[in-house]
Amino acid sequence: MSSLKRRCAWMAAALAVAVLYTAQTAEAHALLVKSVPSARASLSRPPERVQLWFNERLEPAYSVVSVWNAAGVQVDERDGAVSPQDPRRLELTLPALPPGKYVVRFRVLSVDAHIVENTVPFTIRPPARTP
């Protein structure tokens, strides 16, 4: 094989490896695809639960979710877990929350062993005043 053919073959192999690596890393993280409440939601009533859906199955032992108020106090029922009905859903129960600003914090480990951390802020508005 000539030197030029060897170089072309090496470059083609390197390109194939780069393409495969890029394809794997592009799908390597659990992405949040939906949340209830949604990010930056302004709610007239407090939600009873938080639900987060991801594009990949989550590892239950290493996936956590919590809700914090503006004072930095955790306000959920501390029962966050991956749903037994849907391994891509993380959920937790909330008590009756007063009006204010809140943030959902999550840290998940997808079954492909990648950790993702993020937040979902939401607000509960005070009740409307009647004249």
Q: pLDDT tens, 117-130?
A: 999 999 999 988 87
Tens-place pLDDT, residues 34-91:
999 999 999 999 999 999 999 999 999 999 999 999 999 999 999 999 999 999 999 9
pTM of the model: 0.76
Classify residue 40 as left (phi > 0), alpha (psi -120 to 50) or beta: left
Contact of 30 with 116, CB cutoff 8 Å? yes
The CA distance from 56 to 31, in Å, is 7
Cα–Cα distance, 105 to 115 (Å, whole number): 13
Task: Please name the amino acid found at residue 85.
Answer: Q
